[in-house]
Amino acid sequence: MDTPDRPLTPPTTENDRPVLGPFQKSLSKLSQQNSIPDLVRVAEEEDLASDAKDQEDANRFFIVAPLVLGYLILDELAPARYALTRLPINLLGNPLSVSLLNLLAATWHRNHPHVYQRAQELMDLVSASSFFSQPLATLIRTLTEQFTQEFRERTFALVSRAYTSISLSALKSYLGDLPPEHILSVAQQKGWKYDAAAQILSPVVHAPRTIDKSFAPSTLDTFRLVTTTTAALEGAL
Amino acid sequence: MVLFSSGASSSSGGAATGTLESIVSEVTSSTSNRTLSNLLKTHVTSSTSNRTLSNLLKTHVKSEIGETILASTLGGGQDPLTVLDAYANTLGFLYIMTARLITAGSAPVPLTVIDNFCRTFDPDAARLAGDRITILAKAIINLTENQNQLHAAILPLLNLITRFPPSLSYMTTIHPHFVHACVKTQHYTAALPVLNVPISEIDISLTPLTTEDVLKYHYVGSLALLGLKRFEEAAEFLEVVVSAPAQHHPAAIQLEALKKLVLIQLILHGATQPLPRYIHASLYRYLKSTAYVSLSKAFPRTSALNEVLTKEQRVFETDCNLGLVRQVLDHAPRWSIRKLTATYVTLSLEEIGKAILIQDVATVKNIVLSMIEKGEIRASLDTSGTVTFLEDEVTYTPADVDRLLRAAQAQGSVLSEADRVMGRSKDFLSKAIRDKDGHHGPSIAEEELFGAPGLRDWDEGGF
């Protein structure tokens, strides 16, 4: 990642205050509980409730950064984008905004290797001692790790579905910089076959699901449903 | 202290000295601050039902002078809104607050006071003053826009829209203002709790709704859904706008909605789709002369699409549709690939690339993978870069069928009830009788002239 030209510390407010204390605690708690939809809801409500002055204030990152990462974890990319584009110009150029935008763009384009790289860059940015808030840094790290894990699992599921065979190196690029033995261990746990000589993995082939033709007896509920519907249709004629 | 009591006991509405009527009569003849004090004091001793109070306020205080009095302060400059309780005195609070919001030179109403009112008002009382709620919704937009913080309008309007009508399925005059605030501030997700509930009740006795309100709500609502890439729902909203009845000429917003609908149909279905027969025939004629027809004819051929874009970019820009047109172009290769699945069982990534005019194999692989992820195709890749297209998977179970049947039954009940209500409606019955007696609606000649050719062209996808 390029070294940011701008200082990591955003413009301070007159009091340089951690005014979002209870809100911040609430987000931390929700992220630890992995209640991401709730975290997103709380952050959206807080963003709506902030007044015009707060909208321009660097403390808005306490709302926007978790909100963007929350949406990324849920793979809801359009609202993540708007959470960032709503930022005023003075905050959009901040290295934190730029880093979040880069991560979002890589995820949007499903540029898998870049996603893991951008996530690492974000982690490095907030881990710097000059970053303006340690509590926010902790929250961002937690959520970024959750996102990376979620994205990796989603990608693994997609590769399982989309490939009949894939090389170890290609799979590695999809799953980020994981040690090959770790990837092989996970793949084998999922029942994949591995040809060590050719370094080719073969996901389990799932037979397409078809409608149940076993003629299992209908339940009483189904019978009641069908008779009620038929009676209603006849009544309407 | 009880001011503008919302108690159940009702006043006879008589004109005895000291009653509300006499005081209102007194205050409408004077504009001094003291008169508002008198009005409030009288209410302390007067027990008045909400309905009586609503009627009196409507009758006596609606005039310009009445608004001025309500917009004034109490004796000694005290703010009446600090004396009244938003729940117990909903009607009084609402009238005074809205009078202040629309009367030039009156004391400003802080946004916190409006926000508190929207969270705590008594819905039963407020439903007696739908016109004032409409004024309030408009005023919230104006106030927050003037303060350059339109986003602050969203929560109060959301509270109004969820608490004021009996349910969210009622269309109100608040709806267009609410979605306007959400879209203009890019808080699209904030609109979802409202947009997700289909409108099934139009009650003009609740708020003074106009056709324009309904069209604007659905049009702006579609923009929010488009922003969130919810194309199917956006198409439904636009179809409501396009198919709204128009007496002589369709509204301009309906043509704009049709343009957007064409673009969304290309994204969703790869071609334009037949629209309901009751759409105003003129809309097709207007559309025929636009760049959107050329675009739909070129879809999904990338080079042809690019030619149309180069030639008509200005038009798309002026219509504020350029972003959507670019999304149409992004979807073109996907539709070309979908067409290939109908002919081929296996193809290499290079062959697919040639067909969709993309040389870079990695980009082609990304598109194929993305289509598999979104369920647009069923296919599998292997290490040699061969793509095998698979049959569509049957993904429903008997339990799913039961669930759908149950949903259809519930929807059928709602429609039957709506039909019964419509059948009892005085307006509907008188219109039906008028139509039966005389000629109303388009003649056969008009249908032949406008309706049929337009619809036929649309069905053929050739306009």
The CATH number of whichever domain residue B356 belongs to comes to: 1.10.10.10
Amino acid residing at B148: N
Domain locations in chain A as residue ranges: 21-151, 163-207
Query: Is B228 at the interface with chain A, CB within 8 A?
Result: yes
pLDDT of amino acid A197: 93
Tell me the C-alpha distance between B21 and B39, whole Å: 10
Query: Is B458 at the interface with chain A, CB within 8 A?
Result: no
Query: Is A51 at the interface with chain B, CB within 8 A?
Result: yes
Query: Is B382 at the interface with chain A, CB within 8 A?
Result: yes
Query: pLDDT, tens digit, for every residue of B185-215?
Result: 999 999 999 999 999 888 999 999 999 999 9
In degrees and rounded to multiples of 5, residue B388 shows phi and psi of: -110, 120
Per-residue pLDDT at B7 exceeds 70: no
Query: Is B252 at the interface with chain A, CB within 8 A?
Result: no
How are strands ordered across the β-sheet holding B386-389?
B346-348, B386-389, B379-381
Beta strands at B170-171 and B201-202: parallel, antiparallel or unpaired: parallel
Per-residue pLDDT at B1 exceeds 70: no
With respect to residue B20, please indicate whether it lies within any of the assigned structural domains. yes
Query: Is B34 at the interface with chain A, CB within 8 A?
Result: no
pLDDT of amino acid B194: 98
Neighbours of B32 (CB within 10 A): 12
Task: Identify the residue whose tokens are 């009788």.
Answer: B433
By percentage, how much of chain B surpasses pLDDT 90?
A: 58
- CA-only gyration radius of chain A, Å: 24
Q: What ipTM goes with this model? A: 0.82
| 8 A C-beta contact, residue A140 and residue A66 | yes
Q: How many CB pairs under 8 A join A and B?
A: 101
Look at B368 and B52; give whichever has higher pLDDT.
B368
Tell me the C-alpha distance between B357 and B329, whole Å: 13
Per-residue pLDDT at B297 exceeds 50: yes
Binary contact (A229, B152; C-beta < 8 A): no
Q: Which residues 91-120 of A have a C-beta within 8 angstroms of B?
A: 109-110
Tell me the C-alpha distance between B66 and B68, whole Å: 5
pLDDT of amino acid B452: 36
Binary contact (A209, B395; C-beta < 8 A): yes
Domain end (from B325, B357, B389): B389
- Tell me the chain B residues in contact with residue A209 when contact means C-beta distances shorter than 8 Å: 393-395
Q: Domain range for residue B378?
A: 341-389
Tell me the C-alpha distance between B143 and B83, whole Å: 23
Query: pLDDT, tens digit, for every residue of B309-352?
Result: 999 999 999 999 999 999 999 999 999 999 999 999 999 999 99
**Strand-pair partners of B389:** B379
- Specify the DSSP class assigned to residue A167: E
Q: Of all helices (H) and strands (E), which one includes residue A53? A: helix A52-56
Closest Cα partner for B110 from B67, B70, B69, B156?
A: B156
Name residues whose C-beta falls within 8 Å of residue B446's C-beta, 6 or more positions apart in sequence: B281
Burial class from Cβ neighbours inside 10 Å (0-12, 13-18, 19+) for residue B257 reads: buried
In SS3 terms, chain B reads as CCCCCCCCCCCCCCCCCCCHHHHHHHHHCCCCHHHHHHHHHHHHHCCCCHHHHHHHHHHHHCCHHHHHHHCCCCHHHCCHHHHCCCCCCHHHHHHHHHHHHHCCCCCCCCHHHHHHHHHHCCHHHHHHHHHHHHHHHHHHHHHHHHCCCHHHHHHHHHHHHHHCCCCCCEECCHHHHHHHHHHHCCCHHHHHHHHCCCCCEECCCCCCCCHHHHHHHHHHHHHHHHHCCCHHHHHHHHHHHHCCCCCCCCCHHHHHHHHHHHHHHHHHHCCCCCCCCCCCHHHHHHHHCCHHHHHHHHCCCHHHHHHHHHHHHHHHHHCCCHHHHHHHHHHHHHHHHHHHHCCCCEEEHHHHHHHHCCCCHHHHHHHHHHHHHCCCCCEEECCCCEEEECCCCCCCCHHHHHHHHHHHHHHHHHHHHHHHHHHHCHHHHHHHHHHHHCCCCCCHHHHHHHHHHHHHHHHCCCC
Number of domains in chain B: 2
Name residues whose C-beta falls within 8 Å of residue B136's C-beta, 6 or more positions apart in sequence: B94, B97, B98, B101, B114, B160
- Specify the DSSP class assigned to residue A163: B
Q: Which of A42, A45, A48 to mutate to test the interface with B (most CBs of B within 10 A)?
A: A48
Tell me the C-alpha distance between B114 and B450, whole Å: 50
Q: What mean pLDDT is predicted for residues B104-110? A: 90
By percentage, how much of chain B surpasses pLDDT 70?
A: 82
Q: What mean pLDDT is predicted for residues B43-48? A: 49
Binary contact (B185, A208; C-beta < 8 A): no
pLDDT of amino acid B43: 52
pLDDT of amino acid B413: 83
pLDDT of amino acid A12: 41
pLDDT of amino acid B411: 83
Binary contact (A170, B382; C-beta < 8 A): no
Query: Is B322 at the interface with chain A, CB within 8 A?
Result: no
Query: pLDDT, tens digit, for every residue of B348-395?
Result: 999 999 999 999 999 999 999 999 999 999 999 999 999 999 987 766
Per-residue pLDDT at B448 exceeds 50: no
B409–chain A nearest CA distance, Å: 7
**Strand-pair partners of A163:** B381
Tell me the C-alpha distance between B327 and B365, whole Å: 19
Q: Which residues 19-38 of A have a C-beta within 8 angstroms of B?
A: none
Write the Ramachandran bin of B173: left for phi over 0, alpha for psi from -120 to 50, otherwise beta.
alpha
Q: Of all helices (H) and strands (E), which one includes residue A81? A: helix A77-85
B427–chain A nearest CA distance, Å: 24
By percentage, how much of chain A surpasses pLDDT 90?
A: 65
Burial class from Cβ neighbours inside 10 Å (0-12, 13-18, 19+) for residue B446 reads: exposed
Q: Residues in chain A with pLDDT < 70?
A: 1-20, 52-55, 206-218, 235-237
pTM of the model: 0.83
Q: What mean pLDDT is predicted for residues B3-11? A: 36
Task: Identify the residue whose tokens are 């205080």.
Answer: B61
B154–chain A nearest CA distance, Å: 7
pLDDT of amino acid B72: 82
Domain end (from B109, B125, B155): B109
| 8 A C-beta contact, residue B28 and residue B65 | yes
A141–chain B nearest CA distance, Å: 25
A129–chain B nearest CA distance, Å: 33
pLDDT of amino acid B50: 79
Look at B92 and B214; give whichever has higher pLDDT.
B214
pLDDT of amino acid B200: 87
With respect to residue B85, please indicate whether it lies within any of the assigned structural domains. yes
**Closest residue in A to B391 (Cα–Cα):** A208
Domain end (from B109, B125, B147): B109
Task: Identify the residue whose tokens are 């117990």.
Answer: B88
Whole-number average pLDDT of chain B: 83
**Closest residue in A to B366 (Cα–Cα):** A110
pLDDT of amino acid B409: 84
pLDDT of amino acid B34: 44
Write the Ramachandran bin of B69: left for phi over 0, alpha for psi from -120 to 50, otherwise beta.
alpha
Nearest to B402 among A47, A85, A222 (CB): A222
A130–chain B nearest CA distance, Å: 32
Per-residue pLDDT at B140 exceeds 50: yes
Whole-number average pLDDT of chain A: 85
